Amino acid sequence: MVDRKNLEEKFSEYNFTDFKWIDSKKIVTSNWVRMKCMFGCKEYGKTAACPPNLPSVSECAQFFQEYNEAVIFHFEKRVDKPEDRFAWTRKLDLKLLELEREIFLSGYVKAFLLFLDSCNICDECAGVKEKCKHPKLSRTSPEAMCVDVFATARQIGYPIDVLSDYKQPMNRYAFLMIE
């Protein structure tokens, strides 16, 4: 059983205070999300932690069924240019990885993080998992795992919209699977 109070204290130590618990079986996965990766993302096929280097849509859906609990961390940010988000998400993802490791070491052996954004730990990705420079740090995004972040965030009351310009704040989400 997950000790939420103890885990929430750990989240607070990392200054992650905007989060919600969710039954992992309520995480929405959809085929359309993978199609968006295939036909709309410049990283498709070019990074080790993005499709097609990931499980199928049905295998992704099954992954979430193997957990009972997840935490969704919410982060809001404005950026001047789209590429400005990468330094911000890299810093947060590395900090979230520290939290994931601490949770793992405290007995939650299935702790697994899904990054806020595509993996950008390295300045240049090797492109295939076998050549990844940091395989212990590399993680995928919820979208790459076929998560409909829009539907999942909305069902627990989080804001998320398609942005029409970069003057609007973006709402980004990281998922921490815990069992």
Which of 66-75, 81-90, 100-109 shows the lowest per-residue confidence on average (mean pLDDT)? Answer: 81-90
Would you list the domain boundaries of the chain?
4-178
Given a cut of 80, whether residue 24 has pLDDT beyond it is yes
Q: What percent of the chain has pLDDT over 70?
A: 100
167/155 Cα distance (integer angstroms): 26
What's the average model confidence in pLDDT over 116-138? 82
Question: Chain-wide mean pLDDT for the chain?
Answer: 93
Instruction: Identify which has the larger pLDDT, 29 or 165.
Output: 29
Neighbouring-strand partners of residue 176 = 71, 113
3-state secondary structure at position 46: coil
Give the global pTM: 0.93
What's the average model confidence in pLDDT over 102-119? 95
Given a cut of 90, whether residue 42 has pLDDT beyond it is no
Banded pLDDT at 1 (limits 50, 70, 90): confident
Q: How far is CA 101 from CA 149, 154, 167, in A?
A: 24, 28, 35
Which uninterrupted H or E stretch holds 7? helix 4-13
pLDDT at position 79 is: 87
pLDDT at position 164 is: 86
3-state secondary structure at position 105: helix
What's the average model confidence in pLDDT over 18-35? 97
88/80 Cα distance (integer angstroms): 12
What's the average model confidence in pLDDT over 139-164? 95
